[in-house]
Amino acid sequence: MAWWSRTQGLAAEPKKSVPKGIWIKCERCASTLYEADLDIAHRVCTSCNHHFRLPTQMRIEHSVDEGSWEEHDRALESTDPLGFRVDGKKYVDQIKSTGKKVGPGDAYRAGTAAIGGIPVEAGFFVFEFMGGSMGSVVGEKITRQFERAVVHRRPAIMFCASGGARMQEGVLSLMQMAKTSAARSRLREARVPYISVLLHPTTGGVAASVAMLGDIILAEPDALIGFAGPRVIEQTIRQQLPPGFQRSEFLLEHGMVDHIVHRKDLKATLERTLRWFERGRDPTRQTGQVGDIVDLPSE
């Protein structure tokens, strides 16, 4: 075979395509990363520390003790009370198709688990399910999570990643802001700790309600956190926003977040925080001793 072809150029071997899902380009530094290595690094770029979005199942595995996760309320499913349609597609069909891709459970997964041996009631927004939007089912699951935390005197931990209230449920989704905030208030009255972990992105009605009501608020680096998006705000007020506006570092600087934690350190930070709550109940308790949860100090 000739080494040159007028129509094909160099007569090289057939091109071997790279299988999909093997390599990925970093959104920030454009480095080409091997997917398997990225998973080992908790999906954090090894070149620039950019935090990729972490699939919910992987998030659960990285956050709680192995074998301790017991999920609750998985069978709860959204209905279509408003008969909502967008672009000719029914909301109920959208729920079914998304559920087939992501799995049952809607946009929130809640369960009992342990972190460093300490029992907790943990909840995870599922961003893969319609952008982690909060509808009636999500609000109900959060409420039940907080109620279990009160009954069993276990700290509540929420990992937030959401685009906000679910427009397909109209005012019913907006009601979940008040419902979850009221449930959080009962948690506070019972003096049971609540830790909120803000991920990228935490926006809309979720950011304007239960996500920002934690006794301790942690955030991952460079997470977008706010109600309306920066572009919407700029167009509304007709002013240029300061650099880094609505990013977790900006919120830390302005007192809206307590601490920014690298993903690889998040579980250890949660464990230290839980130990701190425990020791607050009894100053004579030794570090690492597991027992009843601390009563929060009076304001």
Which amino acid does the sequence have at 150? V
> What does the pLDDT read at residue 2?
52
What is the Rg, in whole angstroms, of the alpha carbon atoms belonging to the chain? 22
> What does the pLDDT read at residue 104?
86
Q: Which among 299, 200, 287 has a CA at the least distance from the CA of 248?
A: 200
Please enumerate in sequence order all residues whose Cβ is within 8 A of that of 10, keeping only pairs 6 or more positions apart, or say none: 3, 4
**Torsion-angle region of 35 (φ positive above 0: left; ψ -120 to 50: alpha; else: beta):** alpha
**Residues in the chain with pLDDT values less than 50:** 1, 4, 9-11, 16, 18, 283-299
CATH number for the segment(s) 54-281:
3.90.226.10
Beta strands at 108-115 and 70-72: parallel, antiparallel or unpaired: antiparallel
| Domain range annotation of the chain | 54-281
| HEC letters along 121-163 | EEEEECCCCHHHCECHHHHHHHHHHHHHHHHHCCCEEEEEEEC
Model pTM? 0.85
For residue 292, the SS3 value is: coil
42 within 8 A of 62, measured Cβ to Cβ: yes
The dihedral built from the CA positions of residue 208, 210, 216 and 217, taken in this order, carries a sign that is negative
Q: Which among 111, 155, 159, 156 has a CA at the least distance from the CA of 132?
A: 159
> What does the pLDDT read at residue 269?
97
> What does the pLDDT read at residue 19?
59
* Helix, strand, coil tally for the chain in percent (to 5): 35, 20, 40
> What does the pLDDT read at residue 230?
86
**Torsion-angle region of 179 (φ positive above 0: left; ψ -120 to 50: alpha; else: beta):** alpha
Cα-flanking dihedrals φ and ψ of residue 75, to 5°?
-80, -10
CA distances 215 to 31, 91, 98, 210, 296, Å, are: 38, 36, 33, 11, 9
Q: Tokens at residue 140, please?
A: 């109900």
Cα-flanking dihedrals φ and ψ of residue 219, to 5°?
-150, 150
CA distances 44 to 41, 56, 220, Å, are: 6, 15, 11
Count Cα neighbours of 165 within 13 Å in the Cβ-side half-sphere: 20
